[in-house]
Amino acid sequence: MSQAAAFSQKAFNQQLKRYYSIYTGGFIGFILLLAILEQFGLPRKWIGLAFLFATIGLYALIGIVSRTVEVAEYYVAGRRVPAFFNGMATGADWMSAASFIGMAGTLYLSGFDGLSFVMGWTGGYVLVALFLAPYLRKFGQFTIPDFLGARYGGNIARTIGIISAIIASFVYVVAQIYGVGLITSRFTGLEFGLGVFVGLAGILVCSFLGGMRAVTWTQVAQYIILIIAYLTPVVWLGVKHTGIPLPQIAYGQTLQKVGELEKKINSDARELEVRKIFAERAAAANAALKDPQAAYAKGRAELEQNLAKLRAANAPADQIAAAEKALAAYPKDLEEAKKKWNAEKGLAARAAPVRAHAEPFPGKDEAARNTARLNFLGIVFCMMFGTAALPHILMRYYTTPSVREARVSVFWSLFFIFLLYFTAPCLAVLAKYEVYSNLVGSKFAELPGWAAAWAAVDPTLLNITDVNKDGIVQLAEIVIGGDLIVLMTPEVAGLPYVISGLVAAGGLAAALSTADGLLLTIANALSHDLYYKMIDPHASTKRRVSVSKALLLVVALVAAYTASLKPGHILFLVGAAFSIAASAFFPALVLGVFWKRANKYGAIAGMLVGLGVCLYYMAHTYPTFIQWFGTTPIAKWWGIEPISAGVFGLPAGLITIVIVSLLTPAPDKEVQELVEHVRYPHLRGDIVTEAT
Amino acid sequence: MGRTGKNYNRRLLAPAHGWQPAPNQGGLMELSEKHREYWRKNLVITAILLAIWFVATFIEGWYARELNAITLFGFPLGFYMSAQGSLIIYVVIIGIYARYMNRLDVEYGVHEEEEK
């Protein structure tokens, strides 16, 4: 039996390698085919649609082939996913639309300070490897609340786990579905709402039919697409700039050139002129806002007088027409005027000099710089511990065949994630060089092709206005939306449109794969932890899987509906999910393995305190929450931003677990045995906790 | 022969009851001094690697401004570390841990049956 199992696992591994090699080759062939068709005049919209439907069709096919009604297959892919492939699946599970499309843009816009996300979202895997993955694998059940329920006996710990898992995952999944809608609408011209539901169909065929098994094999396929899509244009652009196809190593010199351009721009007379205009407009708006009523009347009167004067003097018709137009464009009422002034006030930011890209923690004085540094480290901290506590990631380590493979699998996970995350900062610098050297200083009449195209398509991505009317582009006249950086790369690199389609397919793969993992986590928390473990422990396996599938459908629809409302603040909410997960889960999970004395009461109190402190801080410091919940604002503790609330929540939870555990009786022998059990990959006379 | 492959496929955990010992092996878990030594070694390597992680993350981040005065491969060092260097260290840490622990399992006889 064991020999047969050993053989089949090896054969299975071989088979996977063969299938995915063929698949990768086929995908590259597909790209080449489209590239050839493009030369023969295939319209762009068709290329976009071909990528959309070919990839979603492929995911659906994998979903149908891997359909299952078996519990262990549905929840943990039969626990036979080899380390290498689990690494790829985790990579796709992990890298969301925000990583794929947004990360390089964040780095472009905020320079060094954006690296807190790069470090946080990779370094967290060290914690996963050292503290969680091997032990959870040995424990070997289905969900994270399973571990909390077993280790801290009873349903209270499990329930808190379920609630935290759902809060953290739901916020996150809404952001993914939102991303799917954006990408499909941008590249195929479908309407946003329709894009959301096409994407949703892609997510559902896969997770609905085959649960974790289908999701795993789809995620591997999605990883391959997303990494090819991300690296191809960057490598191409890198060859153009650095001369070698490994720009990640060679972009140091490009960074130096960007530094020189920054200095040049900061002393350029025309740039200073534009900034002065912005500063004046901001100052005028500020002055108007002090006494809006008077300013509104005065502004209107001035325009009317001007028009009357021109008419009286019999001025040329075009001057009169311009004056009439200005009057017609004047805000209709005071509210509209206030809105406009508030927007103008923001121009002050564009009046500021360019910050050096590689400079850490810029600020107006030493105190501001130190606060910026604390916040940088705060974000790193929360993203790392959040990574090591997000259920959809930890769940993936239940799917390997052994503890040994789980350890190796974390290595492959981070390796595959690293490939994208060490490319993003490089892409940001290459893009910045392109903008500073080619776009800045070009004539408005002859913008570089990509800039003209994107400015026409979507002004929120790229907006260039000739503020000082000199006919030449100044940096201060350009507004770039973060998402542009990844989207524009193929065109900047001079690649055909088919590569833009590929990038869209990559972004879609990143969003769909993460959404799959998250939906499954939420549905499992409800069906396995809540329904099976707490409501009906005698449910048949068939019923358990059916309930899970039904819930998956409901959760997906609710998430898609929420996303179609286009909620604001989605990025803040995603960041907040990390702080929440870190505060609620991390201490209880880690102490559960490393400290036998940690008991039920400690864990319950600790999770509640961690979650409570985290939510309290956010509710009282984040302006939107203050508005929503009507809370009283408090001063920020040490200037820490609300997104990093986990900096306070996690230690508070940890200390609470220790203190309360020590004040209450030690856990019984059974629990202590469970702890011993998860610490050793194999023990003679071991208990068995693995669920099948 | 250590654990048999059968255990993988048998559901032994009823939700209402406690953990049960594996069949055919009788008795409760036996933890010898050797087992405790294995766990101590695990804690030591975990602590060492965690310390490296801490330095590569928080000490590096804290002194990023100062590190930027040094240039490496054309990069300011503080920027290089946060954008790439620390990431490489993380990958290596996890690789070392997996390799070390997988060997330690065999050395202390707590390894699982080979299934590769």
Q: What is the ipTM of this complex?
A: 0.88
pLDDT at A182 (0 to 100): 79
Chain A residues with CB inside 8 Å of B34's CB? none
pLDDT of A90 above 70: yes
B114 pLDDT tier (thresholds 50, 70, 90):
low
Interchain CB contact of A371 with B (< 8 Å): no
Interchain CB contact of B100 with A (< 8 Å): no
The Cα of B90 is separated from the nearest Cα of chain A by a number of Å equal to 6
Interface with chain A: mutation pick from B94, B102, B107, highest number of A CBs within 10 Å: B94
The Cα of B114 is separated from the nearest Cα of chain A by a number of Å equal to 7
In A243-333, which ranges are continuous DSSP H helix? 247-267, 269-290, 292-312, 317-329
Interchain CB contact of A691 with B (< 8 Å): yes
Mean pLDDT of A312-329: 83
Picking from B39, B61, B88, the nearest residue to A376 by CB comes out as B61
A7 pLDDT tier (thresholds 50, 70, 90):
low
Interchain CB contact of A280 with B (< 8 Å): no
Interchain CB contact of A322 with B (< 8 Å): no
Picking from B19, B75, B111, the nearest residue to A252 by CB comes out as B75
CA distances (Å), B94 to each of A128, A136, A187, A585, in order? 9, 16, 39, 22
Mean pLDDT of A579-589: 91
pLDDT at A582 (0 to 100): 93
CB contact under 8 A, B90 and A689: no
Picking from A249, A380, A680, the nearest residue to B35 by CB comes out as A680
Q: Which residue of B has its CA nearest to A258?
A: B75
pLDDT at B14 (0 to 100): 37
CB contact under 8 A, A377 and B58: yes
pLDDT tens track for A137-158:
998 888 888 889 889 987 888 8
A220-224, A357-361, A631-635, B42-46, range with the lowest pLDDT:
A631-635
B28 pLDDT tier (thresholds 50, 70, 90):
low
pLDDT of A175 above 90: no
Asked if A361 and A114 count as a contact pair (C-beta separation under 8 A), the reply is no
pLDDT at A692 (0 to 100): 66
Asked if A432 and A108 count as a contact pair (C-beta separation under 8 A), the reply is yes
Structural element, H or E, at residue A660:
helix A646-663
Mean pLDDT of A587-599: 92
pLDDT of B15 above 70: no
Picking from A125, A384, A688, the nearest residue to B12 by CB comes out as A688
B27 pLDDT tier (thresholds 50, 70, 90):
very low
A96-110, A534-548, B5-19, range with the lowest pLDDT:
B5-19
A24-28, A64-68, A117-121, B37-41, range with the lowest pLDDT:
A64-68
**What token pair was written down for A217?**
């094999």
Interchain CB contact of A345 with B (< 8 Å): no
Which one-letter DSSP state was computed for residue A532? Answer: I
Interchain CB contact of A223 with B (< 8 Å): no
**What token pair was written down for A645?**
């609330």
Chain B residues with CB inside 8 Å of A116's CB? 61
B53 pLDDT tier (thresholds 50, 70, 90):
very high
Interchain CB contact of A687 with B (< 8 Å): yes
Interface of A with B in 376-395 (CB under 8 A): 376-377, 380-381, 384
pLDDT at B43 (0 to 100): 95
A6 pLDDT tier (thresholds 50, 70, 90):
low
Asked if B113 and B2 count as a contact pair (C-beta separation under 8 A), the reply is yes
Residue type, A391: P
pLDDT of A531 above 70: yes
pLDDT at A1 (0 to 100): 38
Residue type, A254: T
pLDDT at A575 (0 to 100): 83
**In chain A, how long is the greatest CA-to-CA distance?**
105
pLDDT of B3 above 60: no
Specify the pTM: 0.87
CA geometry: angle B77, B78, B82, nearest 5 deg:
110
Using alpha carbons, select from A338, A372, A71 the residue that is nearest to residue A210.
Answer: A71
Using alpha carbons, select from B74, B83, B59 the residue that is nearest to residue A108.
Answer: B83
Asked if A288 and A341 count as a contact pair (C-beta separation under 8 A), the reply is yes
Picking from B12, B75, B86, the nearest residue to A255 by CB comes out as B75
User: What is the DSSP annotation of A182-219?
Assistant: HHHHHHH---HHHHHHHHHHHHHHHHHHHHHHHHHHHH
Q: Which residue of B has its CA nearest to A82?
A: B116
pLDDT tens track for A275-306:
888 888 888 888 888 888 888 888 888 888 88
Exposed / middle / buried, residue B32 (Cβ in 10 Å: 0-12, 13-18, 19+): exposed
Strand partners, A687: B21
Average pLDDT in chain A:
86
Using alpha carbons, select from A431, A390, A445, A358 the residue that is nearest to residue A113.
Answer: A358
B26 pLDDT tier (thresholds 50, 70, 90):
very low
pLDDT of B16 above 50: no
**What token pair was written down for A582?**
């870190």
Mean pLDDT of A545-550: 82
In A128-191, which ranges are continuous DSSP H helix? 133-139, 144-151, 155-188
Interface with chain B: mutation pick from A71, A86, A95, A130, highest number of B CBs within 10 Å: A130
Cβ neighbours of B109 (radius 10 Å):
15
Local structure of A114: helix, strand or coil: helix
| φ, ψ at A480 (rounded to 5°) | -115, 130
Exposed / middle / buried, residue A187 (Cβ in 10 Å: 0-12, 13-18, 19+): buried
pLDDT at A472 (0 to 100): 86
Chain A residues with CB inside 8 Å of B98's CB? 129, 407-408, 410-411
pLDDT of B42 above 90: yes
Residues 6 or more apart from A279 whose CB is under 8 A from it? A347, A348, A351
